[in-house]
């Protein structure tokens, strides 16, 4: 698939967008199960407008949207039975911005139900498959978005990242995925899982497309009080000059025993670190002593917020409504019992327990205190360093069905991604190698709202890797 930058230029110069979109739909591999909903009719209608007199930085560029982001007139289910048939009456802010710039929505992508998962196997619509190896998971929860890019079906996509949900599938599928600073991109129209942790972010085949997409979706939105927006300029600021860059390598991200990280993952990341030094960057010693508490703190906070957020899904106003209504309590319980999957129920129950009387202070408040310590660790480490470099995922993409019945094993896979969400800092995952024909991701972490720095570092590494040196 050509890049978004090239496609937009081609369509501006007279290439037929309608013909391109028609061929794109013909080439979508339904066996990968990357989409929940396809929007062929509206996409072709938009393509005709592009060919007549279209404008915008993403003119005619096809984009896939994670099914947790509201799209007016297009079914949005969060991959859950409880939202079967729900069609939002409004667009998320990021969708408004994309349409303004001429992007064409191809479809809504498969995901873990309500973004709760690391493999896209908790989806009510069945698991998505990894194009690199169809017996393997594409990662989660934005697995469908990553897989459709990896399969060459679209050049760019939107995902959301609560504890690694953009970076995990980016790593497993061999693409670029950025988790922006908390507050950079509006969350208006994102169906909430854990409000204080999640961010919408760009996914693409290369860093230039990622930067272009971030330029567009980071526009200010007064409807999200936590968002400050940006003036953009991420694409124009890209540079491959790494001289003077100072980077830290937190050894905590590599684990302390042989079982905590795949040896080939560690080797590829260490090789990438050497490449940065060869490009003129300087390595500094850093420590993140409280990272060992991050996973436990994250799941307490995320599940507690999920327990509160998901209380609104009762089937009484929209979504699933089955059988004869009884009294409110019985009807409410029956709908949620049928509508939610096992993993969502598990997280609601744990979150409700953590927030209950007698346990709120023991668990939830203590987790918030740990979150503060982790934020301080990152602040201190990034005082002397421009970026931190670490593995995105400690393991390679695992087989479908391998971990789905072992939730603790799935939670442990997030050990390198959740600290970034707790700290609220930006992080980008880029491919840095392969093992057994499976991609390996390198994570570049930066200071709050310094996305230009981490994108520049990612771009420089990408250019060096592509040069064959």
Q: What amino acid positions are annotated as catalytic residues?
A: 66, 141, 165
d(CA 464, CA 276): 9
Q: Which of 435, 387, 132, 419 is nearest to 271 (CA)?
A: 435
Quote the CA–CA distance of 397 and 130 in Å, as a whole number: 8
- 62-66 vs 104-109, strand pairing mode: parallel
Please answer whether residues 332 and 314 qualify as being in contact, where contact means their C-beta atoms are separated by less than 8 angstroms: yes
Which sign, positive or negative, has the C-alpha torsion 99, 103, 105, 111? negative
Beta bridge partners of 436: none
Give the whole-angstrom CA distance, residue 292 versus residue 227. 29
In angstroms, rounded to a whole number, what is the distance separating the alpha carbons of residues 318 and 82? 9
φ, ψ of residue 456 to 5 degrees: the values are -65, -45
Contacts of 199 (CB under 8 A, 6+ apart): 160, 161, 179, 180, 181, 182, 184, 185, 187
Rounded to 5°, the CA angle 228-427-448 comes to 40
| 3-state DSSP helix/strand/coil % of the chain, to nearest 5 | 40, 15, 45
Largest Cα separation within the chain, whole Å, is 69
d(Cα 160, Cα 166) in Å, to the nearest integer? 6
Distance separating alpha carbons of residues 189 and 171, to the nearest angstrom = 26
Strand partners, 230: none
DSSP symbol at 439: E
Contacts of residue 335, Cβ cutoff 8 Å, sequence gap at least 6: 82, 314, 315, 316, 320, 321, 322
Of 186, 209, 182, the C-alpha closest to 198 is 182
- C-alpha 326/C-alpha 373 separation (Å) is 48
β-strand partners of 5: none
> For residue 111, what are its two tokens?
């995901």
Q: How many CB atoms lie within 10 A of CB 187?
A: 23
Q: How many CA atoms lie within 13 A of 287 on its CB side?
A: 2
From the list 441, 445, 457, 455, the residue with the least C-alpha distance to 392 is 441
Q: How far apart are CA 198 and CA 124, in angstroms?
A: 22
């Amino acid at each position: 698939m050509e890049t978004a930058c090239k496609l937009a230029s081609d369509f501006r110069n007279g290439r037929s967008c309608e013909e391109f979109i028609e061929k794109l739909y013909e080439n979508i591999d339904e066996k990968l199960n990357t989409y929940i909903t396809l929007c062929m009719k509206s996409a072709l209608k938009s393509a005709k407008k592009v060919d007549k007199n279209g404008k915008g930085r993403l003119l005619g560029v096809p984009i896939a949207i994670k099914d947790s982001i509201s799209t007016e007139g297009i079914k949005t289910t969060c991959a859950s039975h409880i939202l079967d048939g729900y069609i939002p009456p409004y667009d998320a802010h990021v969708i408004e911005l994309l349409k303004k710039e001429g992007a064409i929505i191809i479809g809504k992508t498969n995901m873990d139900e309500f973004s709760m998962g690391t493999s896209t196997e908790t989806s009510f619509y069945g698991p998505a498959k990894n194009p690199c190896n169809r017996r393997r998971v594409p990662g989660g929860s934005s697995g469908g978005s990553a897989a459709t890019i990896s399969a060459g079906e679209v050049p760019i996509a939107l995902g959301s990242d609560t504890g690694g949900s953009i970076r995990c599938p980016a790593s497993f599928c061999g693409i670029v995925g950025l988790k922006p600073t908390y507050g950079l991109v509006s969350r208006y129209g994102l169906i909430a899982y854990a409000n204080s942790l999640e961010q919408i972010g760009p996914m693409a085949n290369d860093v230039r497309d990622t930067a272009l997409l971030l330029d567009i979706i980071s526009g200010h939105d007064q409807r999200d009080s936590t968002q400050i927006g940006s003036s953009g300029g991420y694409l124009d600021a890209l540079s491959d000059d790494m001289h003077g860059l100072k980077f830290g390598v937190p050894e905590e991200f590599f684990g302390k025993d042989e079982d905590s990280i795949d040896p080939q993952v560690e080797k590829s990341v260490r090789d990438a670190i050497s490449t940065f030094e060869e490009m003129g960057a300087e390595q500094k010693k850093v420590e993140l002593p409280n990272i060992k508490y991050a996973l436990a703190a994250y799941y307490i906070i995320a599940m507690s917020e999920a327990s509160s957020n998901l209380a609104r899904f009762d089937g009484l106003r929209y979504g699933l409504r089955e059988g004869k209504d009884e009294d409110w309590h019985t009807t409410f319980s029956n709908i949620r019992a049928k509508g939610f999957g096992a993993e969502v129920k598990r997280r609601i129950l744990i979150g409700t327990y953590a927030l209950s009387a007698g346990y709120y202070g023991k668990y939830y408040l203590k987790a918030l205190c740990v979150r503060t310590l982790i934020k301080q660790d990152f602040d201190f480490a990034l005082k002397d360093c421009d970026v931190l470099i670490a593995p995105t995922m400690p393991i390679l993409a695992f087989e479908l069905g391998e971990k789905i019945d072992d939730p603790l094993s799935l939670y442990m896979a997030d050990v390198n991604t959740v600290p970034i969400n707790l700290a609220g800092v930006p992080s980008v995952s880029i491919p840095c190698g392969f093992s057994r024909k499976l991609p390996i991701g390198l994570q570049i972490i930066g200071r709050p709202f310094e996305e230009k720095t981490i994108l520049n570092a990612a771009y420089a590494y990408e250019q060096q890797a592509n040069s064959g040196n």
